[in-house]
Structure 1
Amino acid sequence: MFVTSAFAQESAPAAAEGDTHAGTAVPAEAHETFPPFNAETFPSQILWLVITFGLFYLFLKRVVMPRVGGIIDVRNDRITQDLDHAARLKGEADAAVAAYEQELAEAKANANKIGQQANDAAKSEAESTRKKLEAELEKKLGEAEASIASIKAKAMKEVGTIAEDTTSAIVEALVGGKTDKAEISAAVKSATR
């Protein structure tokens, strides 16, 4: 037989009325051996250990492990999807950064081109304005020189007359008489040559 009979305790004699430990006495035959350590019960213990281990193994194999395996598979799939999504987003971000840098480089080149065009336009405008002003100044200078030459010629014409009048006045004041205009005119002309 695989199962041993249980050890029953014999009932202790009724205790006296004032005895508080009446039902706590352990009979002498119950002190023999603790049942799991009793060599007579080893075969039944091993049988129940095998049965319990087998049932526990089947429970783990058929119920727990598939659930755990399913959870692990779901998590692996989720991690794979998240990694793929992150890689796709990283690729999109890299493409956006590359497009931004290209647009920035084009904008800088365009700004430099616009700045150079504005600089060239300002230089050409300043050069044309300078040439225009120089031409106007040359024209005014020519007009001024012509005016000065005409004033000088007019003054030189009048210098002779003024010189004749002044000489006539000086001679009249010194000599005290009238002078001949032809003689004074010939003397002024000879002196001014």
Structure 2
Amino acid sequence: MLPKKSSKKEDEDCISRNVYKNLAEVAITYLNEESVPDKALDAVHMQLGSYEKTYKLYLNVHHCVSACVRIPLPLLKLDHVQEAVGDLKVSEDAQKEIIAVVQTYKSKASEAKGNNFYPKIKRFRWRIDITISSSVLARVLEPTLLFEVTLCDGRKKVFEVSIAKFHQIRYSVAAALKEIENLKKKKLLKT
């Protein structure tokens, strides 16, 4: 009597949630550029029976984890993950387990950061100065922008920028804002 061939659905059902949890943890370790233990996938290999299945499943889970990591923590829900993952053949139970692992990772990472943040701008003042002459030249007539920034922690920063450098900064900021707008239009970042 020939052994019964199992369907893909039956294969997926027999994979425990613990396998997905282990694979997601390995993927997060890899994405953090930490060293992954040599025998990290051995337990999964023992359950699945072949390296080919193990590596295919790991590849799908890795792709799913990398998509989940890019989604902000408040939006990390099953429907957003399904949009991000797209055509991958990862079951809903697996996605739930992956979401749980990524949420745990993100909450631990945010706790580790604590209250380390950049100071916010409390006050911003500017003016245009025109240099009429200098000790070297009798007549210069060169405009410069003078900026004074007061930070929320009380520090004051004063800096001077030429008109040409100001236009270069203005162009760079406009390009960055346009790129942010393009990213907001993509499905992955929509709320």
Q: Could you tell me the TM-score, scaled by structure 2's length? A: 0.20
RCO greater where, 1 or 2, for CA within 8 Å and sep 6 or more?
Answer: 2
Q: Could you tell me the TM-score, scaled by structure 1's length? A: 0.20
* Structure (1 or 2) with the larger CA radius of gyration: 1
Higher share of residues assigned helix: 1
